[in-house]
Amino acid sequence: MEPVLRVEALRKSFTLHNQGGIALDVLDAVDLTLRPGECVALDGPSGSGKSTLLRAIYGNYLVSSGRIRVTHKGAAIDMAAATARQILDIRRHTIGYVSQFLRVIPRVPALDIVAEPIRARGHEYESARAEAERLLRRLNLPERLWHLAPATFSGGEQQRINIARGFAVAYPVLLLDEPTASLDADNRRAVQDLIGEALARGAAIIGIFHDAEMRARVATGTYRMSEAKAA
Amino acid sequence: MSAPPGLDDAPLLSARGVTVTYGRRTGCRDVSFDLWPGEVLGIVGESGSGKTSLLGALSARLHPAAGSVRYRDRTGRVADVYRLTEPERRALVRTEWGVVRQNPRDGLRLNVSAGANIGEPLMAIGARHYGAIRAQAADWLERVEIAADRIDDPPAAFSGGMQQRLQIARNLVTGPRLVFMDEPTGSLDVSVQARLLDLLRRLVADLGLAAVIVTHDLAVARLLAHRLMVMQGGEVVETGLTDQVLDDPQHPYTQLLVASILQV
């Protein structure tokens, strides 16, 4: 299988201009290849740049050098050199991202937050909502919460909305940042099933999994961040 | 939801080297960018950074000292906005653009009815049937969450939030393709802001509108804009995807702006 994502010689450093111009080198020479059906778990201590790598792949962080080549609509595009419009199109169709925390939009109900990526691909409101309902039901989010804005929800409830949103569309590439950190055993299993189904349909996944059992069940390989830094 | 901005269509608005001066003082200097159909561009920066000067020059209200603003209309014709004759320019603004002012009092006629405020721009582009105009006004009142039975009340009797929603209806009723907004939530209480933001987000997405939004409020920019331009001292110091600029700001000034946001 051809890779869908190739990270090549990726470096990322942050320059803090208002704190004496300190430079923090977070990623150094990351090389990683991902094929359909693979799930690579990022491994390394806190601060080793796992989340930074996911954010760089998603275009949320700029990279200092290197390339992030993703197969988008049949062509290879370098996320590190893509325009804002290309990145938005890649996020709509190719790369999904489940962050650790839900960014709540005032007044927008849970169901619409989950349905949004489906609608952004041009699907009708009704079918998008039906799919959103199916996911929220699988993740055991009580129906009475569906029509409420999640600002006041618990951490676990917000995280399930985030997960549902990330799995609402069949992205070829999925980035998961500790998707199960605040979930109970039943919901961890539900997420594990979603990940398994995504892999079975050919999705390629990079994840940060603190839950060792989850990692053992879904990961097909491991990428050690600390090794990358020492290299 | 949005007709996502396609990748192979042409820009809607192209600014090149736009410079605005007031005597010897500079409003904004050498600003260039392209805006694409359906795209929302946020212009952020503190007061005095040149945001409003730039918006004035983009929206045909402030003749730039240098540079050009080109716009592609719905027939596909590209016009150099400041080379049009005055009547041509007014026709373009009336049929293709909307301009939402910070203070609704500047964008509304306060002593004529809410219905007339929405109907006027329709009549300015040729609508004549009273019943149809009134029906459209009622429909737009509902879309901006104002009770239809307020149609005959003058906006002077409305709250600030209602006035701002009415101003938005007045601007969108003619089906513009591009809307310019100057601090659209700036004059409102925070609780009223959230409702207006939600409304703007939905309308812009549902109608596939392109928009240029000036705001000093980075949270507003995050919610509404696809892309940001950060201005300081009349110049653009940073530009990029909204979440990237806010989460990984590169320029010292942007880092300072982002670091200065108060957390609640």
- Provide the ipTM: 0.93
Mean per-residue pLDDT of chain A: 94
Alpha-carbon span B135 to B133, nearest angstrom: 5
For residue A82, pLDDT beyond 50: yes
CB contact under 8 A, B4 and A60: no
In chain B, whose CA is at the least distance from the CA of A109? B198
pLDDT score, position B199: 87
CB contact under 8 A, B244 and A59: yes
Burial of A140 (0-12, 13-18, 19+ CB in 10 A): middle
Alpha-carbon span A215 to A222, nearest angstrom: 9
Tell me if chain A has a CB within 8 Å of the CB of B106: no
Reported as a single tens digit per residue, the pLDDT across B24-43 is 999 999 999 999 999 999 99
CB contact under 8 A, A84 and B226: yes
Q: Is the pTM of this model over 0.80?
A: yes
Reported as a single tens digit per residue, the pLDDT across A195-209 is 999 999 999 999 999
Mean pLDDT of A86-109: 92
Mean pLDDT of A64-77: 97
Reported as a single tens digit per residue, the pLDDT across A119-162 is 999 899 899 999 999 999 999 999 999 999 998 999 999 999 99
Q: Which residues, in sequence order, are CB contacts of B98 under 8 Å at separation 6+?
A: B171, B172, B174, B176, B178, B179, B180
Q: Which residues, in sequence order, are CB contacts of B91 under 8 Å at separation 6+?
A: none
Neighbours of B8 (CB within 10 A): 4
For residue B2, pLDDT beyond 60: no
Of B248, B251, B255, the CB nearest to A60: B248
Q: Residues B234, B61: contact at Cβ < 8 Å?
A: no
CB contact under 8 A, B2 and A120: yes
For residue B150, pLDDT beyond 70: yes
The one-character DSSP state at B59 is: T
* Least confident piece of the model among A93-102, B46-55, B185-194, B232-241: B185-194
**CA atoms lying within 13 Å on the CB side of residue B190:** 3
Q: Residues B225, B213: contact at Cβ < 8 Å?
A: yes
pLDDT score, position A229: 46
Q: Residues B42, B245: contact at Cβ < 8 Å?
A: no
For residue B3, pLDDT beyond 70: no
CB contact under 8 A, A105 and B201: yes
Question: Crossing angle, helix A110-120 and helix A125-138, to 10 degrees?
Answer: 130
Query: Which strands, in side-by-side order, build the sheet including A22-34?
Result: A22-34, A5-16, A65-72, A75-78
Which among A44, A50, A48, A86 is positioned nearest to A69, based on CA atoms? A86
Query: Which strands, in side-by-side order, build the sheet including B227-232?
Result: B97-100, B178-182, B210-215, B40-44, B227-232, B235-241
* Tally of residues, chain B: 264
Report residue B259 CA to chain centroid gap. 26
Candidates 3.40.50.2020, 3.40.630.10, 3.40.50.300, 3.40.50.2300; CATH matching A35-61+94-225: 3.40.50.300
Identify the CATH number of the domain defined by range B13-107+176-259: 3.40.50.300
Q: Tokens 């676990």 appear where?
A: A156
Task: Kindly give the residue spans of alpha helices, DSSP state H, lying in A7-124.
Answer: 50-58, 84-93, 110-120
Pick from A24, A58, A60, A118 the residue to mutate for testing the B interface (most B CBs within 10 Å): A60
CB contact under 8 A, B255 and A18: yes
Q: Which residues, in sequence order, are CB contacts of B243 under 8 Å at separation 6+?
A: A60, B222
Residues of chain B in contact with residue A120, where contact means CB-CB under 8 angstroms, are 1-2, 4
Which among B221, B216, B218 is positioned nearest to B187, based on CA atoms? B216
In chain A, whose CA is at the least distance from the CA of B250? A15
pLDDT score, position A182: 85
